[in-house]
Homo-oligomer: A and B are copies of this chain.
Amino acid sequence: MNENKLNILIAEDDLNLGFLLVEFLESRGIDVKLYRDGELAFNGFKGGDFNFCIFDVMLPKMDGFSLAKKVKIVDPKIPIIFLTARAMKEDKMKGYNIGADDYITKPFDEDELLCRIMAISNRLDFSNATCGKICQIGKYEFDFENLSLDFNGQIKRLTTREAEVLRMLCISKKKVVKREQILTAIWGENDYFAGRSLDVFISKLRKYFAEDSTVTIDNITKVGFILNC
């Protein structure tokens, strides 16, 4: 309910344009964070709580399309607008296939960009964006900020990783959370070892919930996990 506020991540290496954008959008009451290359942007994205992205297509370290692909794995619904100097059709198609919501050719008009952002965000469904800081899981209370799991006043302290994994399961309670999504969002990469690591944490979490049998973390082979409670 409180998260109806736009929180935009911008990835743009031309800092002149970048700062201009930041200033303009902030003047309109929008939260903005600027990153100057693809990798920084992705790390920023993992850490932050963004609900909108604007990516330059050409970026150092990782180009806008690759960045979009990874971001879409973590949050498939997040809207992305691409900025590009070129007006190539192939580029546009590529962007749309990845799931671009819009495409703007530089130089562009700031007001028009704002209009496009608004047009898209008006359709946004913020409803399940955040499940609050504290999440009820069966008889447990999970506080992500405090890394704590409270069971009848008995407080179990979680490690960062444990909390991160549990948070992802919590956000989509009773829904399948894909392995790929968790791995990309938390480990940043989706390889064998990260995968095994995730399994270890799932195993740990299950133990923590052992005292309330209504809480289970179920596996869907080859797909992911579901937190049921």
Contact = CB atoms under 8 A, between A and B. Distances in A.
Interface string A61-100: 0000000000000000101000000000100110011011
A221 interface: yes
At the interface, is chain A mostly helix, strand, loop or mixed?
A: loop
Given A79-B123, A111-B89, A127-B129, A223 B147 contact: yes
Contacts of A111: 89, 93
A154 to B, nearest CB: 14
Interface string A112-152: 10011011101111010101000000000000011100000
Contact of A99 (B122, B131, B159): B122
Contacts of A77: 123
Copies of this protein chain in the complex: 2
Nearest to A148: B176
A88 B112 CA distance: 11
A79 B129 CA distance: 18
The 3 A-B pairs with the shortest beta carbon distances in the complex, nearest first, are A96-B115, A146-B176, A123-B123
22 contacts: A77-B123, A89-B111, A89-B112, A92-B112, A93-B112, A96-B115, A96-B118, A96-B119, A99-B119, A101-B119, A102-B119, A123-B123, A123-B124, A123-B125, A125-B131, A145-B176, A146-B175, A147-B176, A159-B221, A160-B220, A160-B221, A160-B222
